[in-house]
Amino acid sequence: MSLTYSRSLTQSQAANGSAASLLGSITLPIQIGQYQLTHKLHVSSDNECPAPLLLGTNFIRSLNLLGLTVTFDMHMSIVTVGSDFQSTSNINYVVSTPPASHTARIAPQHF
């Protein structure tokens, strides 16, 4: 397989809502335990990424399309893909975008 790096300066949004600059992308074969897939990976400079590797929902969806369930045990630091599991000390955390705030009032009850 020949590797082709595509240089393309773009912006993305991280799970915590912050912006990250991407330098480009490359499609690589990835093996997790006994499972292998080819996936397009986005490349950023070290100061733009809080970890050596971030697994996005597009990557997890690719595994799901292969029929593989992906689970993260944050307490035990274990990632399970299909029937394979990897123990890691580098699972950080999952951050969701906080919901927008809304002004609400309680209507009086009429009996």
**What range does the domain containing 42 cover?**
5-87
Q: Is residue 98 part of a domain?
A: no
Q: What is the pTM of this model?
A: 0.66
Least confident of 35-44, 54-63, 77-86, 91-100: 91-100
User: Within a domain: residue 28?
Assistant: yes
Q: Is 102 within a domain?
A: no
- Domain count across the chain: 1
Is the pLDDT assigned to residue 3 strictly greater than 60?
yes
In angstroms, rounded to a whole number, what is the distance separating the alpha carbons of residues 110 and 105?
A: 15
Q: What residues contact 71, with CB distance under 8 A and at least 6 apart?
A: 79, 80
Residue 94 domain-assigned (yes or no): no
> Is the pLDDT confidence value at 47 over 60?
yes
Q: How confident is the model at residue 111 (pLDDT cuts 50, 70, 90)?
A: very low
